[in-house]
Structure 1
Amino acid sequence: MQFFKKYSPFYNLSLLYIIASFVLRLVLIFHPITQSSFKWYEIIKLFVTGFFSDLLVFTLASALLWLYLLFLSNSKYYKPWGYIIFGLLVSLLVYVSFCNTILNEYGGSLPEIGISFIALKTVLFGLLLFLPRWRKAIRLGLYSITIFIFVLVIIQNTISEWFFWNEFGVRYNFIAVDYLVYTNTVIGNIMESYPVIPLFSAVGIIALTFTYIIVKRTQPFLEQLPSFKDKIKNLAVYSVLFLLGLYLIPVLAKQETSANVFTNELQANGLYRFYLAFMNSELDYDKFYKTIPEDEAFAILKKQIPTLNGNSTLRTISSDSTEIHKNVVLITIESLSADFLKTYGNEQNITPFLDSLSQKSLQFSNLYAVGNRTVRGLESVTLCIPPTAGESVVKRKDNKDKFSTGSIFHQKGYEVKYLYGGDAFFDNMEDFFSGNHYNIVDKKSFKPNEITFSNVWGVCDEDMAHKAIQVMNEEAKTGKPFFNHWMTVSNHRPFTYPDGKIDIDAHSKSREGGVKYTDYALRKFFAMAEKQSWFKNTVFVIVADHCASSSGKTELPLDKYRIPGMIYAPGFIKPAVNTKMISQIDLMPTLFGLLHFNYQSKFFGQDVLKADYKPRALIATYQDLGLIKDGVLTIISPRQRVKQFQLTQQASDKVKPDFQVYYDQKPLPKERKDLVKETVSYFQTASHLLKNKKLNK
């Protein structure tokens, strides 16, 4: 059984992977973002379960390694088989090079990749066939390269998991899948955010060192290759292990049941988490979550939204005043946590303009984002629905022709646009907004002389501010009202921006610098807007898309969802502070109420200024769905799990009562079944209506 002996490549690479995973867990336990302490039995569980999970995952992931090792032999170069195989390879190379193959049907760069691979395989086989005296040396070189690739992947994945934890405080999830899809943007972000040359050099040196050690340890395997009979035996054993891994890995994943979120994350295997995220961009609510009868779910929802009729959210919104068709500019600000603003306790003075603007606006002091990704924020202010399990609607295939804020403005005769300083292809924004009849202005719309500074995410917010003014001036000439939704980009890693604009060094690459530069760009925008003819007839809605980070001691830490929001329209909307708890999905319906719009609504979001509004907020990750109400956070999760937390405010003397952000979240001693059912009602009905296309226009 040479494949399983101490000198086998499989044994040595699996050992490297297990050691790397062990070291990673150990480092992550002591990482500053791991805001938790662990009991001794939790430590034992996460390491023991993690070990078996890692071993089984590597067994599955090493399938290509086994395929390579099984085809290592000398007999295939003997006459006549060596010449027959070489002739077949040459024929295949000629065929794919000069004939129309399936590779050509797919187009793109696939034909070149296919031809290059077959050509390389043909040349290498020819060298091994016709240079028998050099066969061992050539094979050793190719074997070393193969081992290096596997070692590099193991080391690089370990480093990547650390960086991902450093950013998000969790193992791989949907965000990591996005990063794989949007490779150019992500690589650019890494290049601009980290010391890439020292980092990659260190990774390369470590990988080369381990490659050398493994090649030296496994040379006996290479010098005495297994016989065909031995390969069959080894393959049979590996097949059993492979099937065992397919069965046991999900079983081990189900053991991630600790009340401590960090214990579950550290126990998990990152590669398996990535696989789950990749395969489950949409989670079937009825299959994974707690449900109640459909009629009961809509009846409970009707208590929150009294005008509902039947199993639908369709209802008539009527005003007793004349509609006001003012221009509307919705500005969603990248990663703007509430605690960046002075009113929420920040003492760094990084949002001086927004701090001053909030005092002149209708300010919502108790507003919660629905999620922790930009696409969730965009979904909430565009579709005004709860965050459903899986990916945001923005990222789904069925994302077009939805009932949206844009469709309401279209009905009222508005010009509707989405403005974004980057490439709207990212995060599927272009597909979503164009599919819902928004005209798009993004980086592709800029002339070279309109860009003074850009990074991997797009042009700086100041350049976008100038472009927005230009777009709105053109719209004003048409005589039609306009609705423009502008998504900012500068408050995002690598946090680079033009020199000399603010008092934080542009090369510091700090979050504070990104926040303050965006604030500076917004000041510039409003200074320019005030000089335009359309300004006095315009309402500005300013809100964050999500907070700057999302990790915490529980699945849904409240302070990681608290965001600022305000509506500014001097001479039209009086400055005030609305202290009711509200959700991001309520912001645009509230605006429609201020404009006295009459319309047929399918929104879950409500006008929070109406007397019948009952305070509540909806927050979520891609799988944990939460309702905040009556001082309790109720979370429903896959496998029909339910958790409830009593919320106790951690008051700060430096912050006014209505702007307190932090809460203790302690498990509720006795389940509030009414709140469990209400939580289920929101997410079950939203999932049902989306699935059955009942939220289309």
Structure 2
Amino acid sequence: MPTLRHAQLRYLSLLLGLWLVAFLLTRTALLVSHWQEAGTGASGLLTVYGVGLLYDLAYLAFAAVPLGVYLLLCPERIWNSRWHRAWLQLLLAVSLYAMLFTAVAEWLFWDEFGVRFNFIAVDYLVYSDEVVNNILESYPIYPLLALLAVLALVVAAALQRPLRQALDAPLLPWRGRLAALASLTGLALGVALTVGQDFPRSSGGNAYQRELASNGPFQFFAAFRNNELDYQQFYAILPEAAIGALLHDEVSEPNARFTGSDPLDIRRVIDNPGQPQTYNIVLVTIESLSAKYLGSFGDPRRLSPNLDELRRQSLFFNNFYATGTRTDRGLEAITLSVPPTPGRSIVKRIGRESGFASLGQQLAARGYDSVFLYGGRGYFDNMSAFFGGNGYRVVDQSSANEADITFKNAWGMADEDLYRLAIKEADRDHAAGTPFFLQLMTTSNHRPYTYPEGRIDIPSGDGRQGAVKYTDHAIGEFLRTARNKPWFANTLFVFVADHTAGSAGSQDLPVANYHIPLFIYAPELIEPREVPTLASQIDLAPTLLGLLNLDYVSTFYGRNLLLDETRPGRALIGNYQHLGLFDGQDLAILSPRRQLRRHDDALRMSRESQATPDDQLIQRDIAYYQGASHAYGHALLSWQVESDADTHLSQR
């Protein structure tokens, strides 16, 4: 039988043991930095370290296989050669460097997102140019890498004695080598069959504890396989007839007529009263603008004087929520009016991201020039393919003349440059007599938080508060320029965030961390007032089309917030796994493995409990997400050219 007395297994166990120590130290450092949020008593420590050990061993069971194969199949003549011993010493040093690098990367990722590596980290590999440049601009990365190299060499030197003892031990005979290989392979297969991305964690409880107990590298590789989750397989479902009736009731509006034969098809004719209007629309999606940063919501730092003044001049929605935690989720909800279905957003489902009845498609069909303008490069997050395939013309950083870009960083041009580009597009369309719909996505309020010098009183790169204040400054300058344009009086200006600056918390879906502002500003067209109706980003598209008094065929899961303001609102919020519906008081959550939970008094005490399928709030939650997942899978959200008889009903 193979034992740790033999050279190959002693060397392998030395490396694996060092990885375990690295995981333990990383977990401890993260725990200490978030001790209060984790609420770590005796049971919490058991969860963090006990479950954490299981995750660490699961990852090492996989990682040990390729190295074990090499060590166990290495011929004795090569093993005992001088160059091979030097190679194994170098491999130890490189492994130590990888451990330190992984620990630092986890720390920085946690600092940004409040979680271990997940599908976001996987996406960052795809868009490596922006991500690498962002890291270089945000941190002293080269000195840090050099420091890690020095530390790795120091630790490697300190380990020379146990390393020599391992290399000088007798080699396994071939029968023992085959037995060891079989054991390693069998262990890895067993782990693959029993340990998943959320095992042995359970949903619910303290989210910080679950994340701390995770293993970053394990979660990273698991995310490759789980970036899109099949709703029917992983989530609670109810009979389609019952869900269909409930869903139709949720999305119905006065005089709406459903036209689909599938029980879960929400395609319907929306009959907006009044004469249709051809107002221009400029919809600005602002990077990471949490409501809490606005002075009018209580921030004392005066970061948003322009937006605070704009609130008094706008149709302002003060109880508005982002659907997700990433830019692509915000764009998905605003453009398609769909809940955040599990896994990847529709924006990034490459090859299946086009052909939908989007807001841009609806307006393009009525003669609008629908344009998506992005401050960065449109290939990021698959934006160009998504918007180009759903009725938009795409204008991004590559479309601008370099002379017109006064400042850019890893994520793209400064907001003020993007606004100047939008002004040019609007001027061009107005001169041609074409109504325009410009949908902008800004980038400045994102790490590394850099922007042109001299615009505000906070130095560039000094943190989030400077980026927020610059974002506000750029909006003020944009509106001052637009007010002098001949198209201003006939234009709706919409400002909304893509998501908040941070959604991590001790709960899976901390509702307060999804709160964002929504402004609709048109001083010649709309009376300023505040709308307290609870809503989320999926309600923006039908509300805008309602302001235009357009009849249309809708596949939107949102509703016109101005049609019946006495109707109770609701907000759909989620992340890539947990799917929530908030009714203003309580929150229902659907999680993988068909788990159902409630958070009563979700904005305050947030008392968590298990729920059952007969809970009305749970049923509403299931209706939206089961319905949206079904509709996506069965092409019920597709754009179809309708006849005039179908779409023009009461407009006269």
Task: Quote the Cα distance in structure 2 between the aligned partners of 1:450 and 1:383.
Answer: 32
Distance in 2 (CA, whole Å) between partners of 1:293 and 1:5 is: 60
Where does residue 199 of structure 2 map in the other structure?
253
Q: Tell me which amino acid in the other structure corresponds to 1:23.
A: L
Matches within 5 A, 1:88-237: 136-214=81-159, 216-223=161-168, 225-237=171-183
Measured in 2, the distance between the counterparts of 1:423 and 1:3 equals 55
Please give the alpha-carbon distance, in whole angstroms, between the structure 1 residues aligned to 2:419 and 2:542.
26
Rounded Cα–Cα distance in structure 2 between residues aligned with 1:234 and 1:549: 46
Specify the alignment match of 2:333 in structure 1: 380
Q: Aligned with 1:53: secondary structure?
A: helix
Q: C-alpha distance in 2, partners of 1:300/1:595? A: 28
Aligned-partner residue type, residue 487 of structure 1: M
Aligned counterpart for 1:565 among listed residues 512, 518, 539 = 518
Q: What whole-Å deviation, never above 9, does each CA across 1:114-166 have from its counterpart, x for those lacking one?
A: xxxxxxxxxxxxxxxxxxxxx83322332233223322222211221121111
Give 1:446's aligned residue. Answer: 400
Q: Which amino acid aligns with 1:64?
A: P
Retained in 2: the 8 A contact 1:304–1:613? no
What is the CA-CA distance between 1:328 and the residue it aligns to? Answer: 0.5
Q: Is the 8 A contact 2:373 2:441 kept in 1?
A: yes
Is 2:465 the partner of 1:536? no
Which stretch has the larger CA shift, 588-597 or 203-212? Answer: 203-212
Which residue, 282, 288, 294 being the options, matches 2:228?
282
Q: 1:375 and 1:56 mapped to 2: Cα distance? A: 32
How far has the Cα of 1:298 moved from its partner? 1.1
Q: Tell me the residue number matched to 1:99.
A: none
Deviation for aligned residue 1:402: 0.6
The DSSP-based 3-state class of the residue aligned with 2:33 is coil
433-442 or 214-223, larger mean C-alpha shift: 214-223
Q: Report the residue type matching 2:600 in the other structure.
A: Q
- 8 A contact 1:378–1:545 mirrored in 2: yes
Question: What amino acid is the match of 2:139?
Answer: Y
1:666 is aligned to 2:607? yes
Deviates more, 1:558-567 or 1:199-208: 199-208
Deviation track 1:220-259 (CA, whole Å, cap 9, x = no partner) reads: 4434544434422322332233233324433981343551
Q: Structure 2 CA distance, aligned partners of 1:419 and 1:444?
A: 11
2:343 to 386, 390, 407: 390
Q: CA deviation at 1:32?
A: 3.9
Paired residues for 1:155-554 under 5 Å: 155-214=100-159, 216-223=161-168, 225-250=171-196, 253-257=199-203, 259-306=205-252, 307=256, 309=258, 311=263, 312-397=265-350, 398-508=352-462, 510-554=463-507
| 2:582 corresponds to | 628
SS at match of 1:206: helix
Cα distance between partner residues in 2 of 1:512 and 1:54: 37
1:6 deviates by 8.5
User: Cα offset for 1:272?
Assistant: 2.2
Q: What amino acid sits opposite 1:26 in the alignment?
A: T
The answer to whether the 8 A contact 1:367-1:581 is kept is yes
1:340-360 CA distance string (max 9 Å, x none): 111211111111111111111
Corresponding residue SS for 1:495: coil
| Cα pair distance change 1:230/1:685, threshold 3 Å | same
Is residue 2:600 matched to residue 1:646?
yes
- Aligned residue in 1 for 2:55: 53
The alignment status of 1:693 with 2:639, answered yes or no, reads: no
> Aligned partners of 1:567 and 1:258: how far apart in 2?
37
Matched, 1:675 2:617: yes
In structure 1, C-alpha distance between the alignment counterparts of 2:250 and 2:2, rounded to whole Å: 67
Equivalents in 1 of 2:517, 2:501: separation in Å? Answer: 12
Q: TM-score, normalised by structure 2?
A: 0.92
1:108 is matched with which residue? none
**1:499-549 residue CA offsets vs partner (Å, 9 max, x unmatched):** 1110111142x1001111111111111111111111111111110000000
Distance 1:679 1:334 in 2: 27
User: C-alpha displacement at 1:319, in angstroms?
Assistant: 2.5
Find the residue that maps to 2:606 and give its secondary structure: strand
| Secondary structure, counterpart of 1:631 in structure 2 | coil
Q: Distance in 1 between matches of 2:204 and 2:325?
A: 22
The offset of 1:630, in angstroms, is 5.2
Pairing of 1:585-596 with structure 2 (within 5 A): 585-596=538-549
Alignment counterpart, residue 11 of structure 2, candidates 5, 9, 12: 9
8 Å contact from structure 2 (residues 611, 618) kept in 1: no
Distance 1:418 1:610 in 2: 28
Asked whether the equivalents of residues 645 and 667 of structure 1 are also in contact (C-alpha less than 8 Å), the reply is yes
Amino acid at match of 1:300: L
Moved more, 467-476 or 218-227: 218-227
Q: Which residue of 1 aligns with 2:646?
A: none
**Letter in structure 1 aligned against 2:211:** E
Residue 645 of structure 1 and its aligned partner are, at CA, apart by 1.1
Q: Which residue of 2 aligns with 1:121?
A: none
> 233-242 vs 315-324, which deviates more?
233-242
Give me the whole-angstrom Cα distance separating, in 2, the residues matched to 1:389 and 1:645.
Answer: 20
Partner Cα distance (1:33, 1:142) in 2: 41
Shift of 1:669: 8.7
- How far is 1:692 from its partner? 0.7
Q: Distance in 1 between matches of 2:369 and 2:422?
A: 14
The answer to whether the Cα contact below 8 Å between 2:197 and 2:223 also exists between their aligned partners in 1 is no
2:642 paired residue number: none
Q: Distance in 2 between matches of 1:694 and 1:258?
A: 33
Q: Alignment partner of 1:171: what SS?
A: coil
Question: Are the aligned partners of 2:597 and 2:610 in contact in 1 as well (CA < 8 Å)?
Answer: no
When residues 52 and 281 of structure 1 are mapped into structure 2, their CA distance, relative to the original with a 3 A threshold, is: closer
Amino acid at match of 2:44: E
With over 3 angstroms needed to count, the CA separation of the structure-2 counterparts of 1:147 and 1:542, relative to structure 1, is same
Q: Distance in 1 between matches of 2:117 and 2:156?
A: 26
**How many residues were matched structurally?**
626
Please give the secondary structure, in 2, of the residue aligned with 1:663.
Answer: coil
Query: Which one of the candidate residues 40, 65, 75 is aligned to 1:63?
Result: 65
- Higher-Rg structure is 1
Return the alpha-carbon distance in structure 2 between the equivalents of residues 620 and 264 of structure 1.
17
Amino acid at match of 1:4: L
Unaligned runs of 5+ in 1: 78-134, 649-661
What's the CA shift for 1:584?
0.8
Q: Shift in Å at residue 684 of structure 1?
A: 0.3
Identity of aligned residues (%): 37
CA distance in 2, matches of 1:407, 1:459: 27
Code of the aligned partner of 1:283? L
Task: Assess, with a 3 A threshold, how the Cα gap between structure 1 residues 34 and 13 changes in structure 2: closer, same or farther.
Answer: farther
Residue 4 of structure 2 aligns to which amino acid in structure 1?
F
Structure-2 change in CA distance of 1:471 and 1:6 (3 Å)? farther
Q: Is the 8 A contact 2:51 2:200 kept in 1?
A: no
1:230–1:6 CA distance, 2 compared to 1 (3 A): closer
- In 2, are the aligned partners of 1:6 and 1:12 still within 8 Å (CA)? no
For the structure 1 residues 478 and 172, does the alpha-carbon distance in structure 2 shift closer, same or farther, using more than 3 Å as the test?
same
